[in-house]
Structure formats: C-alpha cells, structure tokens
Amino acid sequence: MPAANTPDDISFERPLRLASIALSGGFILLFLYVALHRLHYPFELDRMESSMMTSIWRLAHDLPLYGKPSMEWVSFLYAPFYFYCSAFAARFMGLSYAAPRLVSILATFGSFAVIYRLVHRETGRADAAFLSAGLFASFYGNVYGWYDIARVDMLSIFFLLLAIYCTRHYHPLVAAVVWLFAFQTKQTMLPIAILAFLTGWQQPRRMLTGLIATSVLVLGSVYALNHVSHGWYSYYAFGTVSHIRFLPRMAVLYIPVDLLEPCGIAIALILIAALVQRPRKASPAIWFYGVLTFVITAATGYVRAHEGANVNALIPVYAWISILFGLAIHRLLRWADQTLPADKARHAPALLWLLVFIQLFSHVYQPGRFIPSSDALAYRKDLLHALATTPGDVWVVNHSFDGILAGKPIHPEMDALDVVLGRASSTKAEPAPMQNPKDTAAQDLLDDYRNERFTAIILDRPAESYAPEWAFNGAEFTAHYPLRAIAIGSDQPNVIDQPMLVYFPCSALHTPEIVRSLSTGFIDSSGCP
C-alpha cells in the first residue's frame, strides 16, 4: 500500500499557477464587460471625451482639425491619427461617443495581443505571456477606467508596443512605418523610437536603416500636415507644449506612489530576475530591454510631472512593467530549475506563483463603479435639454460637444484654449491688443465679453481656478458677466466633471426663465444695478 503524501511532498505550484492564469483571464473579461456596458453611453465618461468628439465632429463635417485659434475652434496639441481613425469608425457607427470608444477598445485588445506575442516569442512560455497581458488588463482600475474612453492614449500605446515588437523582431523598414503611426497618434513617441533603434548598435546597417527611414517618414508627414494646415499643425503639436508647467511634487511621488504602490511585487520580481542570472553585457536583448526600460520609465515620469497630466500618463510604463513581469517569471523559473538544489527547486516555483497571484489579486476592482448610473444619465439628459431650450449662444466651457448636441454654435474647449491664451499673456493681466498676431483668440474672447455674445457661460469649477487667471476673473469678464449662479445638477452625486457655476450678463435679470432653466438661483448679483 503506497504511503500517504507528507507535507513536504505536497506542491502548491500547479494550483497557484492555474489560479494566477485564471485571474489574468478574469481581468481581461472584466475589462470587456465594463467596456461593452460603457460603449454606447451617450455622454462623456471623462471630461476630455467631449473635446475629442468635437474634433471628430469637425472631421466628419469636412472642417480642418488644425487652424487659426479663434472662439470657434482651437485644436488640441495631439497628433491627428486617432481622430481620423475615429472619424472613419463614425461612418459606420454614427457620430457618437461609441465610435472613438470602439477604437480605444480594439487598441486595448491589440495591446494585450502584442504583449502576449512579445513575451511568448522571447520566452516560449504561454503562461508567462498570458500573465503579462493579464497584469496589463488588471491596471484598468488603477488608471480609473482609461482603457476604453474616447482619448488617444490606447491607440498610441498599441502602436508603441507594436513598434517595439517590430523593432526587435522585424525588418527596420516595417518598424519605421509603425513608429510613424505611433508618432502621428502621440508625438511624444519619437524619442522612444530613436533610442529603440540605437539599441541595435551592434548591427549598424539595421540601426541606420531604421533611424533614416523613421526620420524620413516623420519629417515627410510633418511637412505634409503643415502644408495642408498652412503651418498650424506644428503650432499645436510642437509650439504649445512648452507652456505646460513642471510640477516637482509629482516628480517626487512618481516612483513611490505611481510605481511601487500598485506594482511593487512585479518590480521586485523583475529586479530579482536580473540579479539571480546576471545578464551578458554584450547581449542585444539586454541592450534592447535595458535601454527601453530606462527610457520608458523616465519619459513617463517626466510627462507625469507636468501640469494637466493624469493617470493616463502612466499607461506606457504599466504596459512595459507587464512585459518585464512575464520575462521575469520565465527567467526565475529557469533559474530555479537549473541552479537550486532539488529540494529547494521543488518549492521555489510555488513561492513565485504565490507572489504572482498576490500581485494580480491586489488589482481586483468593482466594475460597477466605472459604469454610469441611471441617475447620472438622467442628469445629463436634463442638462442637455436645458441647453437646447435656452435661447442664444451658450458657451459650455468644459463640455464643447454638449453644446453641439444642444444645437449651439461650436466653441473651443477650455483645456485647449487655455494654452493659446497663456501664449498671448503669461501674467494675470489681460493681453494687450494684438500682442501676437497669431494669438488673436485672446482678443476674440475679450471682444465676445464686451459684446456680451453669450447668453450664459458655464464653468465646471470656480472662475479663479482657470488659467490664465484673467480668462474668467479679469476686468472684461467681471464687468460684462457679473451674475453668478449655481448650475443645475451641481450637487449631483456620482457624476464627475459636471457644470458647477453659470455666469450671466445683467440683461439676464429681465429673462428669469433663462436663469431658471440653467441654474438653481443667483449666488451673486451685486455687480448689476
């Protein structure tokens, strides 16, 4: 009769490994569940979605994406490819948020696939590759549901990962084309492209082919876009980013809060894997992954430490950590099998899988918190109805597409306009007339205030918190829009970035029905006689 298993004979390696794989698959399915439930939500999930939709709306109506800044339109500092992809999707899905969200969803699944393929090709292990994709999917909660919203980030991540894969495993001309798409989705990808090719210094011909081809394609695309936009493409894509402030506090918090807190175990495993088997300095793979690790980590931290940066800035480094995570799992398992004594080699994989499971489990999130409630939907419908029934021109400062849906004239999003206004005047004072002929949007805004063009101006936060300060707190604004009221629904729970304040000219005192439609009553009318 065989002896019963003793505790030393029992291995938890297999159940822990299967549990980790199941959890990875669960995160991918959970993302799909949330994304499908949010796909057709008719209003923005994130404030910036509105401005993305306005950009797509312009392309759908054959209007230029880049042009002279005005109170009709100011482009964002993004490259154009995401907008063109979304406008193409809108031909089949209709001009709604669903089209750009679908682009982001497909790009996210494309990113899962590229991560899986890259790790699998490097290691030959399907489990390590799947766990890498699962870890990236698990960051959905950490980045507050950014993977499926109508913004450029996920398409740029997909092209970044695909370009890295092609640089490593395909002809440099193929990689150069993919890097072009990455650049024209988000122009900050260019430095990564250059350094990715430079890691191949041991193969000079391949390196130079990639660098030259990428340079020609990028410069050619910039020239073409400047030609069709009369130079405005470069004005937005390269001329506005220098006016975004650096925030030292965010730079200090980047490593402990943004990296170690959510993925400390993964980073520890990556470091241990690098130490237990010292990499060969001459190895092309070590140069490739070592340089890109430094570049992506540093570049992400640099972007994160600038004003206006949000958790979306962290997605590239989370994707890269996910890749290194899978490579580390393979390296540690191989090290345990080849190096450790038999008794220790039997238990080391179980410990590794336990740590992998804990890392993944720490990212479990409640999907319901990312799906808009019925109350939120009702509130947005009421707000849209109030806008549509208000006569005259209403400037919804942070929700430009809501204004379009309500039938109002198109106006720039403040998140784009503020950079242009900052170029016209870097002080608290209003700009001098025609200080810069290119920055006439500031004068257009002041003229609109003087002429009291707007029936109402709706803000998401206190006027003094906007930059530049004079935009909603300067002499012209306070002289012509002195009536301040609380926006309807400003106390609505579970709705982010909703309108908070409404400003009216004194003439609104003679049309109380307009005031009642957009607000719950005045909180300051002292500026009117």
Where does 406-474 have alpha helices with state H?
A: 414-424, 441-450, 470-473
Taking the C-alpha atoms of residue 424 and residue 169, their distance in angstroms, rounded to an integer, is 47
168/305 same-domain check: yes
Residues of the chain with pLDDT > 90: what percent? 69
Q: Of 148, 65, 143, 66, whose CA–CA distance to 100 is shortest?
A: 148
How confident is the model over 71-86, as a mean pLDDT? 94
Strand ranges across the sheet with 393-396: 393-396, 454-459, 501-504, 483-487, 519-524
Domain assignment present for residue 417? The answer is yes
For residue 311, pLDDT beyond 70: yes
Domain assignment present for residue 77? The answer is no
Residue 348 pLDDT level (bands cut at 50, 70, 90): confident
Residue 250 pLDDT level (bands cut at 50, 70, 90): confident
167/251 same-domain check: yes
Question: What are the contacts of 19-23 at 24+ separation with CB within 8 A?
Answer: 19/353, 19/357, 20/131, 20/134, 20/353, 20/356, 20/357, 20/360, 21/127, 21/130, 21/131, 21/134, 23/134, 23/138, 23/357, 23/360, 23/361
458/330 same-domain check: no
Q: What are phi and psi of 61, to 5 degrees?
A: -105, 20
Domain assignment present for residue 81? The answer is no
505/404 same-domain check: yes
Residue 429 pLDDT level (bands cut at 50, 70, 90): low
How confident is the model over 501-526, as a mean pLDDT? 87
Q: Which of 159-163, 337-341, 427-431, 525-529 has the lowest mean pLDDT?
A: 427-431
338/394 same-domain check: no
Greater pLDDT, 492 or 18: 18
Domain assignment present for residue 339? The answer is yes
155/44 same-domain check: yes
What pTM does this model have? 0.93
User: What sign has the CA pseudo-torsion 14, 18, 19, 24?
Assistant: positive
Instruction: Name the β-bridge partners of 454.
Output: 393
For residue 4, pLDDT beyond 80: no
Domain assignment present for residue 4? The answer is no
Q: Can you give the pLDDT at residue 326?
A: 97
For residue 341, pLDDT beyond 80: no
pLDDT tens digits along 144-165: 999 999 999 999 999 999 999 9
Taking the C-alpha atoms of residue 190 and residue 53, their distance in angstroms, rounded to an integer, is 26
Question: Which residue, 341, 369, 397, sits at the end of a domain?
Answer: 369
Q: Which of 46-50, 192-196, 269-273 has the lowest mean pLDDT?
A: 46-50
Q: Can you give the pLDDT at residue 441?
A: 86
For residue 244, pLDDT beyond 80: no
How confident is the model over 468-490, as a mean pLDDT? 90
pLDDT tens digits along 484-501: 999 988 777 666 678 899
Tokens of 214: 């990428």
Question: Which residue, 349, 369, 389, sits at the end of a domain?
Answer: 369
Residue 528 pLDDT level (bands cut at 50, 70, 90): confident
Domain assignment present for residue 58? The answer is yes
Domain that holds residue 440: 374-524
Residue 345 pLDDT level (bands cut at 50, 70, 90): low
109/53 same-domain check: yes
User: What sign has the CA pseudo-torsion 88, 89, 92, 98?
Assistant: negative
pLDDT tens digits along 26-51: 999 999 999 999 999 999 999 899 99
Residue 419 pLDDT level (bands cut at 50, 70, 90): confident
How confident is the model over 309-321, as a mean pLDDT? 93
Q: Can you give the pLDDT at residue 91?
A: 95
Question: Which residue, 369, 396, 426, sits at the end of a domain?
Answer: 369
206/348 same-domain check: yes
249/279 same-domain check: yes
Q: Give 186-223 as a DSSP string.
A: -GGGHHHHHHHHHTTTTSHHHHHHHHHHHHHHHHHHHH
Q: Can you give the pLDDT at residue 433?
A: 55
For residue 417, pLDDT beyond 70: yes
Q: Are 146 and 196 in contact (CB under 8 A)?
A: no
Q: Can you give the pLDDT at residue 339?
A: 81
Question: What are the contacts of 361-365 at 24+ separation with CB within 8 A?
Answer: 361/23, 362/262, 362/265, 363/27, 363/135, 363/138, 363/139, 363/141, 363/142, 363/262, 364/138, 364/141, 365/30, 365/140, 365/141
pLDDT tens digits along 364-409: 999 999 999 888 899 899 999 999 999 999 999 999 999 999 999 9
171/200 same-domain check: yes
**Beta strand pairing status for 393-396 and 501-504?**
unpaired
Q: Give 379-415 as a DSSP string.
A: HHHHHHHHHHHS-SEEEETT-HHHHHHTTPPP---HH
Using DSSP's 3-state secondary structure scheme, residue 255 falls into helix
How confident is the model over 159-182, as a mean pLDDT? 97
Q: Can you give the pLDDT at residue 435?
A: 52
162/130 same-domain check: yes
Q: In total, how many domains does the chain have?
A: 2
For residue 198, pLDDT beyond 80: yes
Q: DSSP code of 487?
A: E
For residue 426, pLDDT beyond 70: no
Domain assignment present for residue 520? The answer is yes
How confident is the model over 430-448, as a mean pLDDT? 72
Q: Can you give the pLDDT at residue 9?
A: 46
**Which residues make Cβ contacts (< 8 Å) with residue 310, sequence separation at least 6?**
none
- Report the chain's mean pLDDT, rounded to a whole number: 90
Burial letters 226-237, b for 16+ CB under 10 A, else e: beebeebbebbb
Using DSSP's 3-state secondary structure scheme, residue 458 falls into strand
Taking the C-alpha atoms of residue 170 and residue 497, their distance in angstroms, rounded to an integer, is 44
Domain assignment present for residue 342? The answer is yes
User: What sign has the CA pseudo-torsion 485, 488, 493, 499?
Assistant: negative
Q: Which of 89-93, 158-162, 428-432, 502-506 has the lowest mean pLDDT?
A: 428-432
Q: Can you give the pLDDT at residue 434?
A: 47
285/379 same-domain check: no
